[in-house]
Each structure stands twice: as C-alpha cells, then as structure tokens.
Structure 1
Amino acid sequence: MTGTDTDVHAEARPVEAIPGPKGLPLLGSMFELQQDSLGAFLRARRDHGDVVRISAGPPGLRTVVHGVFSAEGVQQVLATESANFRKDNPFYEEVRAAFGNGLLTSQDADYLRQRRLVQPLFTKRRVDGYADAIAQEAAAVTARWHGREGVDLIEEMSRLALRTVARILFGADVEAAVEVIHRSFPVINDYALNRAYAPVNLPREWPTPGNRRAMAAIGEVYAVCDRIIAERRAAPDGPVGDDLLTLLAQAGSEEDGSLDATEIRDQVLVFLLAGHETTATSMAFTLHLLARHPEERARAQREADEVLGERAPTAADLERLPYLTRVLKEGMRLYPAAPVVGRRAVADTEIGGYRIRAGSDVVVAPWVTHRNPDLWEDPERFDPERFTPERSAGRHRYAWFPFGGGPRACIGQHFSMLESVLALATLLRACDLEAADDAEVPVGAGITLQAKGPARVRLRPRA
C-alpha cells in the first residue's frame, strides 16, 4: 500500500506523523474526494497545514495521497527534486492509454527525445506566427454572436479553442477533425478519469458498454489523425505547409532521428488535449469573471479599444495589453485549468518537515496553493492588480503555477497566453457581457478543470 505513516527516524530532524482528515472509519475520505475533491483538498490544507495525508477506500483497496500545498513544497516536487517525482500513478497510466505517449505522459529518454524534437516548434517567433489564425477564429465567434441575446461561455470557448488549435495543427484539414474531436474527447476524458480513480478496473478488452463506448471514441479520433498524417507523409514532395502537423513530420536531428507516424499522432493528441481544454477553461472563466465585475470589464474594454482600434490583433499586441494580461492571470489563479497535479515519489523525501516515503502518491494543487491566504490576501476576491510588477515582486515563483514548473513546465504556455489575450481582446471589443446570474460556476477536477454547469452571459453589442 502506498503512503505509509511517516518515518520518525529522519536524519535531518524528528518528523511527526503527517496530519490529515480522519474521514469515515472504514472508507476514510472516499466519499468526500468523489463528491468534491477540490473542496476536500482546500479543507485539508485549512485544517491540517501544507503537508497532509488523505486516505480513501476500504481496507485492502485503500488509496493514500499526500497533498503538498506550500509554494516551497510545490517547488520541490516540480522543480528542485523533480527527478524523484514521476508520472507513474494511475491517473497518468490511464491518460497514456487513452491519448498515447506524447509529451504530457512520456518519461525519461522518451520524454527528453520528444522535447528536443518538438521544442523548435514552440519558439516565441514560431508561435507568434499563429496570431492571424487566432484573430480570425475569434472574429468568427463575434460574428456568430451577432444578434444573440446570450450564450454559455463554457460551450463557446471550448469550440473556439478547439477550432483554433485544430487549425494550427491541421491547417486545411481542420474541418475534418473538429467535429470528431468535439464529440469524442468528452467520452475519452470521462473514461480515463473514472478508471484512474476506481479501486478496481476491468480489462479494457472486455466488451462492457463503457469499454465499447470509449474504444469507439478513441478509434474515431485515432482514425482521423492517422488519415491526415498518412496523407501528409504520402505527398509526392513530402509534407508541405506551416501547420504543426507538417512541422512535426519534418522534425528531426542526427541525434534523435525523426518521429514515426504513431509518435506524431501521440503528440497531436496531447496538443489537442492540452491546447484545447486548458485554454478554453482559462478564457471561459476569465470572461465569466469579467461579466460579474463590470468595472474591471470596462477597464479591459478601454484598453482593447485604445490598443486595437478597428484592426485585428497581432502578436505584438500581447505586450500592449498589460491590464488584460493581468485579468487573465487572475482568472487562471482562481480557475487553474490543471487544478491538481499528481506524481509518485521514487525515494524517501522530506517536505515541510515530514518524511514522504518512496512509492507514495503526491499531489500539488494550484487550486489550493492559489487560494492560500499566506500567499494571497483575501484569496477568493477577483483582483487583477495582484499581477502588477510592484505587487508581483518578491512573490514566490510557485505561488502561481497554472503551467506547472521545472523541467516539465508546459511547452505551450506562450501559445496559451497569446491565444487567450488576443481572443479576449477581440471578444470584449465587440460585446458587453453581463452575467445571467451572479453565482459562481460549480467545478470539479477532471483531466482538466471541469465546469459542472453552464456559464451563461447576456450579450449586448458595443458601438
């Protein structure tokens, strides 16, 4: 069983047993984690501190997780001691089985080779070249909104982000992929998540209704990706174009060779997952926050008006929109797209005065650390000014980590910031958004942050 009690004979100093919620006598915190894991982690930090031990499940099938919530502890797990915390837990095993062994899930030599091959595709100069596609897709949304009285931002931003990343990945083949991915990804996500947190799983090959439904969705996504990849590779002069798929097919070096068709598909699936759902989450919740805070919305609109006028945004405008960038960062603080990040320790480690044993499952949680009152004054309040240079100075690097950190930090963070800021500027310049109600959108932790209801806003065109 992972996550045994703390070793009280640590060499550095005496280490007490790791505190945590007791839960129910036989099931621990199982129901609490199933119903509201984000709330459970918040309460655990509030009641027990920055390193906690949470057990869930019946004896013999019990899972033990160690939550690490301080900025210093997060830095240890993701950066300074990252080699000791691997993606070997059930969550990543299920994501790997569903979406392949791309950058999100690969490890060791596979990961280093993939990173070296893919990194040149995500330089600032290369990513800035996608600004026109971002602007065009955002403008298409404003055109679709014309004449509508209201929309659900969760659905709308999911479509916008998917179309944008699919266009940048597939170029002219975007239409062939979008509907398949939009239909199939939710089925695959739910399947992987349910298996990751189930105490016992049936083999994927068994023809249960859930397995058959998931395998059909996975097969449909794989088929459309494989077809487009095969057509590119079969072109008489080789892959031609400036979309990411073509660049992946062309990527290679003497040291690392090139990516074969399966490896290209694995990277495409990771880009679709990470570049679609995370950015959609950031944009949807940021817009909903602005819809509930009219003064901040008006200030962001004034900035967009002054910088853009009537023209389409460009990559250079990212630096000219500092207030909107702060708004986005605050939205990502309150609603981080990856709210919980899991690892497994491979050696005994001391964090915050407690011994974490080898083999223990460990989670760091932006959802919790971003709300830590020791790091953020009045943490539940929406305040974009937290991210001014003056107020950011001296703040711990891992007080805010929506893109992770260390050697496995998100390779696409500049793309995500560019897409989000330019799209938000385009939408806010065209429309006033008012929240249909003042309630927060209920959320839960999936592979990414999952809205459990709509984020409805009323629309009013701006002059």
Structure 2
Amino acid sequence: MSVTTTRSAPRAPVVAGGPLLGSLADLLRDPLATYLRARRECGDVVRFRLGPPGLGREIHGVFSPEGVQRVLATEASGYRKDTPFYQEVREQIGNGLLTSQDADYLRQRRLVQPLFTRHRVNGYAEEVADEAAALAESWRTAPGGSVELVGEMRRFALQVVGRILFGTDTEEAVAVVERNLPPLQTLSLKRGLAPVKAPRTWPTPANRRAARYRAELFGLCDRIIESRRDGGTRAEGSGEDLATLLVRAETAEDGRFGQTELREQVLVFLLAGHETTATALAFALHLLARHPEERRRARDEVDRVLGGPGGRAPTAEDMEALPYLTMVVKEAMRLYPSAPIIGRRAGVGTEIDGVRIPAGADVLVSPWVTHRHPDHWADPERFDPERFTPEAEAVRPRYAWFPFGGGPRACIGQHLSMLESVLALAVLLQTYDFDGAEGGDVPLGAAITLIAKGPAWCRVTARVG
C-alpha cells in the first residue's frame, strides 16, 4: 500500500449525530439508513463518531466504487481485519477464513481452495435441485397457499449447505444454527460498536449467552468432524461432503488442519455458506412476486430451458442458458446484499477521493450504499435486472457491485452461491407462480449479515403442465 497522504488533504466530513454519542445510537437503531444518509449528506468519504468525546472512536466510510476498489483490491495489503467488530467476530466464531490474516489466512486459503473449484462445485448441482424440488413439494400444503420467503429460504439454504457440508446431518445442523447464530451476530455487532465494553471474562448476562451460543455451535462442528474422521460420508450423491474433504485436506507446504482450525472452518462455511444464498433467493422471489413482467420473462426462460411444469430438473450445464434468471439474482444481490458492510483498518496513512485517511483508522465499505450510488445506478431503488446485461456491466466501474467482496479476500464460495441461487430459483419458477401483493416492504437491519426484521409473505399457486 503506497503512502499518498499529504498534510494539505482535508479530513473527511463528520456525519451529524448526537452531541454525546455521535452516530452510535443511529448505527445501533438503523445502520442501513444511517450509512445512506451519510453518503447523501456528506459525500463518498465520511467520518462517524461513536461514543462520548475523549472515550469514543471514529469510523471512516468509503462509498465510491473507486474508493472501494482501493480498500479491497489494489491496496488490500494495507487494509487489515483488525477492526473492533472483526475482533469480536473472531472471538465468537474463531480464526477461520472469514477473520484470519497474513500467514494464517494464506495457509487456510491454500488448503481450502481445491474444495471450491468450478468442477467440484458443479458436482453439487444435483443435490441443489433435489432440495429445491423437496421445498417446492412442501409448499403444496402451505396454509392458505402463502409462504414466508425469508424463513423458507433460510431453511432451504441451511438444508443445502448441511447436505453438502455435513452429508446426512442436516436436521441437527439446521436447528443448531437457527437457534444460535442470529443472536450471536447481534451480540457481536453491539460489542463491535460499543466505545466501552465489559471484558469477555466477566460473567455478565450477555457474555454468558454468547458462551452458550458458541458452545452449541462448536459442539455441532466437533461432532461432524469426528464422524468424518471415523470414515463417515454422505449417504446420497456421488461425491464426498466438504467436511470429509476438509478433514483430509493436506499439502506438503501447509500440512493439515488441526482440530480447532477444522471447527473454525466448518463454522465459517455454515455462516457464509447459507446467508448469501438465502438472502438472494428470498429477495429475488420477493421482487419477482411484485413485478409481473420480470416474473413472466424469468418464467418463460425457465420453461424454454427445462420444459415448464413437470419438466426436467436443472443442471450446472444450464447456467449459461439462464442469463435472465442470473440477472435477476444479481439485481436481488444489488438491492439486498447479504453482507451490507465490510470493515477494515488502515495500516498506513493514505488518501481516498482526495480525503485523508490516517494510519490506524477504522474504514468501512458498504455494498448497501455503493449499490445505490446515484452516479452509477439510475433510479437505484427500482428493481431492474437489465442492469446486468453484459453491455451494461462492461461500462460500469468494477466495484459498483461487489456482493461477494473483492480483491484477494473475495468470497471463496461465490460460484457455489450463484449456482445454488439460479438453479433453486429455476425449480421454484418451474413449479409455481408467485403473487406478492399481500406483502409490503420487509424491514431490515444489519449485523455480520443483512437481517430481515419482519416477514416477506407471498402467495404461491401451483402451475399446471
């Protein structure tokens, strides 16, 4: 990372907040709206003040695609995951791919990368289609013909990642994750933003709850790993589950994962492996249900490729034949990125967009904000899959859209997420028509991931072949 700061460069403007706590209350109450307001009122590089004068701290927000590219890609080595929030996440879920740095991260990435080649990921397509068909079948008895998309897609994505990662242990995995992961996220956010916090060793109610959540999640991971060491593999499908492959992963340079490392990788895959897909699917269906013309185009494309109701199941080879459906998924990820905020800490002083970023500054970039930047997205709140034609993508800045992060730490599972989202959406559109007239906007929040704070109801009607 080159040092380009000059004394003449101005500091970033401070986002208006309360006289005592600055923006802390706003970020805890409604972080997404606060970040949007900050860019609108103060520009592409801003400062948030958190906590009382003398005891608080500052966070710099960087919202232009060019600034995001510098933080995540071109100067990535100078921006580290040393922020208070990432330190909290590291304490809660361990030092896996999501939170590790330097030699630890490079070693983990080298060991895990062979598990996510395109060829291996494509081998999971049959299981994705099977789980989507099972979900579609379950909707035939939905009370009143209505389904709640957020919960249904979360359970579906957990079923898929459980089947791929854990083989036959999906039912226990789904229950444990649903019970423990959301409250652990919320606790991490509160501690990550707090200017002053109790030491983790103190037996406060919050610390005791966090320890209980971690213990249950770690216990699940340990049981699965032990079963794989005993030779267990998934009962269905032609390949091996990822947990088995993780246990066996080894290179001459990097050795093998130890028990703690295995647990931490499995837990990261549980978190990251279902949240992106669940969010993309829930909101893609939510948007299609409220936009009849786009829904018709997506359904017609699926019918041409798969044969309509009663037709064949989709395969990985169908991805290229479903370009409009892929555009729908990308547009859903633009409007509802599963990771709306990404944090880093500046290793040295620099400038971004003419504004000085001091060494040691906490820096955040935000897909939620940049995906709505009016300089790059006309009428940014409007649902329009045509934004992702090849021609439109070619003229847009690379980091105007980055739901999977970017640079050397881009999400390792992004191809799996896209495959799962497109194929599952194809099965559901093949089987049902959707009407979202009964549902309004979904209230949202943010912690490690985007959080739906209310339901997304949709009426489903089985299509007749």
- The alignment's TM-score, normalised by the length of structure 1, stands at 0.95
How far has the Cα of 1:46 moved from its partner? Answer: 1.0
Q: Deviation at 1:224?
A: 1.8
Match for residue 37 of structure 2?
Answer: 43
**Greater mean alpha carbon deviation, residues 310-319 or residues 434-443:** 434-443
Counting only pairs closer than 5 Å after superposition, residues 250-289 of structure 1 correspond to structure 2 as 250-289=248-287
Among 138, 145, 149, the alignment partner of 1:144 is: 138
> In the alignment, what sits opposite 1:213?
209
Query: In 2, Cα distance between the equivalents of 1:102 and 1:43?
Result: 33
Residue 428 of structure 1, CA deviation: 1.2
CA shift in 2, pair 1:173/1:23, >3 Å = closer
Which residue does the alignment assign to 1:414? Answer: 415
| Aligned partners of 2:150 and 2:456 also within 8 Å | yes
Q: Relative to structure 2, which stretch is displaced further, 29-38 or 331-340? A: 29-38
1:232 partnered with 2:228: yes
Match of 2:111 among 97, 104, 117: 117
AA of the residue aligned to 2:214: I
After superposition, what is the alpha-carbon deviation per residue over 1:288-308, rounded to whole angstroms, capped at 9, x for unaligned?
Answer: 011111111111111111111
Aligned partner of residue 263 in structure 2, secondary structure:
helix
SS of the residue aligned with 2:169? Answer: helix
Please point out which of 173, 178, 184 is paired with 1:182. 178
Alignment-derived partner of residue 73 in structure 1: 67
Q: 2-side partners of 1:226 and 1:31: how far apart?
A: 38
SS of 1:450's equivalent in the other structure is: strand
For residues 162 and 42 of structure 1, the distance between their equivalents in structure 2, rounded to whole angstroms, comes to 31
What one-letter code is carried by the residue in structure 2 that aligns with 1:255? Answer: E
Q: 1:191 Cα deviation (Å)? A: 2.0
Cα separation, partners in 2 of 1:136 and 1:329, compared to 1, 3 Å: same
Alignment check: 8 A CA contact 2:78 2:348 kept: yes
Alpha-carbon deviation of 1:10?
Answer: 4.5
SS at match of 1:163: helix
Q: Deviations over 1:165-215 (max 9, x none)?
A: 011001122233222222221222222222212222223333332222221
Once the two structures are superposed, residues 240-281 of structure 1 have per-residue CA deviations (whole angstroms, 9 ceiling, x without a partner) of 961000111111111110111211111110000001112111
In structure 2, C-alpha distance between the alignment counterparts of 1:63 and 1:452, rounded to whole Å:
28
Q: Aligned equivalents of 2:437 and 2:259: distance in 1?
A: 47
Contiguous gaps of at least 5 residues in structure 1: 1-6
Q: Deviations over 1:108-165 (max 9, x none)?
A: 0000000001000000000000001101111111011003210111100000000100
Task: Please tell me the residue identity of whatever aligns with 2:131.
Answer: E
Q: 2:162 is matched with which residue?
A: 166
| Alignment RMSD (CA, Å) | 1.8
| Secondary structure class of the residue paired with 2:434 | strand
Q: CA deviation at 1:16?
A: 2.0
Percentage of pairs with the same residue: 62
Partner of 1:4: none
Alignment of 1:90-101 (within 5 A): 90-101=84-95
Distance in 2 of aligned mates of 1:410 and 1:423: 20
Partner of 1:362: 363
CA distance in 1, matches of 2:239, 2:301: 35
Could you tell me which amino acid in structure 1 is paired with residue 355 of structure 2?
A: Y
Question: Following the alignment from structure 2 to structure 1, what is the Cα–Cα distance between the partners of residues 239 and 41?
Answer: 55
For 2:322, give the aligned amino acid: L
- Aligned-partner Cα distance in 1 for 2:64–2:174: 39
Can you list the C-alpha shifts for 1:357-390, whole angstroms capped at 9, x where unaligned?
0110101001111101101111111110011112
Report the counterpart of residue 26 of structure 2 in structure 1: 32
Question: Compared with structure 1, are the counterparts of its residues 177 and 351 closer, same or farther at alpha carbon in structure 2 (3 Å cutoff)?
Answer: same
TM-score by length of 2: 0.94
Are the structure 2 counterparts of residues 15 and 451 from structure 1 closer, same or farther at C-alpha, using a change threshold of 3 Å? same
Paired residues of 2:24 and 2:193 also in contact (CA < 8 A): no
**Aligned with residue 16 of structure 1, among 10, 16, 34:** 10
**Farther off after superposition, 168-177 or 252-261:** 168-177
